Amino acid sequence: MSNKYVIEHAKSGRSNCRKCKDPIAKDALRWGSITTRDEHDQTYWSHLGCVTEKQFTNALESYESLREIPGVGDDEDILGQVDQAYAATQTSANFDAAQKAQEKADKGSHKVEEKEAKAAEKAKAKKDAAAAKQAEKDAKAKAKEEKERAKEEAKAAKAEQKAAAAAAKKDAAAAAADDDAEAEDDDDEPIAVSKKRKNASMKPAKVFREGNRKSSRKDAIAAEEADAPCSPAAA
Ligand SMILES: [Zn+2]
């Protein structure tokens, strides 16, 4: 069912505006919205200036143009006023729409700003946390590295010590070998010869098997014995 409208000069001053409730003056242009109920048409009147954009839109769905609304016809004065009223709703509608859009945009931009600030804060917190984590990681890695280095150094020191000990042992062995060799060579030496002979006269085999300290003690004993009255030195 299409909406029905009518536009006319008020026949009397008795009707009231549907929207603002004020009386509509006689002969003033009024907009009539016609509702059909129980096969009876009922017309609700409005000041032309109180007609909403929605009503114009509805009217333009029912009629091809404002001129087609019953009552307008060829009356250029009425058409001019209707056009003006419609233009006013468009302007105010546009104004309202623009205002609403602006409010929405402001609200939106405010929201966007808040969102961006929050996101930036979050990103910063994340970055800080990551940096802290990285620092901790670095510190741990450094500590590990230092521990490894200390371990390596200790290992190297131990190896060095071991090598030194081995070298010392080797040197000692070499020295001992030299001593033996010297001992062998010492046969020509007169004192050694005499000592050896004394040792040999006492317990030859045992003296050679025993260590230097013991043998030297025995040498001392032997020397003391040798110092006895019958020794050649005393004689
Ligand atoms: Zn009104």
Q: If one looks up domain 4-103 in CATH, what number appears?
A: 3.30.1740.10
One pLDDT digit (tens) per residue for the chain, 235 residues: 568 999 999 999 999 999 999 999 999 999 999 998 888 889 999 999 999 999 999 999 999 999 999 999 889 999 999 999 999 998 877 777 788 888 888 887 777 788 888 889 999 999 999 999 999 999 999 999 999 999 999 998 898 988 888 888 888 888 887 776 655 555 555 555 555 555 545 555 555 555 555 555 656 656 555 555 554 554 4
E strand or H helix at 3, and its extent? Answer: none
Determine the distance separating the centroid of ligand 1 and the alpha carbon of 14, expressed in angstroms: 13
What's the CA-to-centroid distance between 39 and ligand 1, angstroms?
27
Q: Is 85 exposed, middle or buried (0-12, 13-18, 19+ CB in 10 A)?
A: buried
Distance 13 CA to ligand 1 centre (A): 13
DSSP class per residue in 169-224: HHHHHHHHHHHHHHHHHGGGSHHHHHHHHHHHHH-HHHHHHS-HHHHHHHHHHHHH
CATH 3.30.1740.10 location in the chain: 4-103
- Cα 227 from chain centroid? 96
The Cα–Cα gap between 203 and 50 comes to 149
Interval between CA 31 and ligand 1 midpoint (Å) = 10
- Residues 194 and 188: their CA atoms lie apart, in Å, by 10
Ligand 1 geometric centre to CA of 20 (Å): 4
Instruction: Please state, in angstroms and rounded to a whole number, the distance separating the CA atoms of residues 31 and 91.
Output: 19
pLDDT at 27: 94
Q: How far is the CA of 52 from the centre of ligand 1 (A)?
A: 10
Q: What is the pTM of this model?
A: 0.43
Q: What is the pLDDT of residue 234?
A: 46
Look at the alpha carbons of 15, 21, 25, 29 in this order and tell me if their dihedral is positive or negative. Answer: negative
Going from the Cα of 47 to the center of ligand 1, the distance in angstroms, rounded, reads 4
Q: Which two tokens stand for residue 160?
A: 């060095």
Task: Measure the CA–CA gap between 117 and 25, rounded to whole angstroms.
Answer: 58
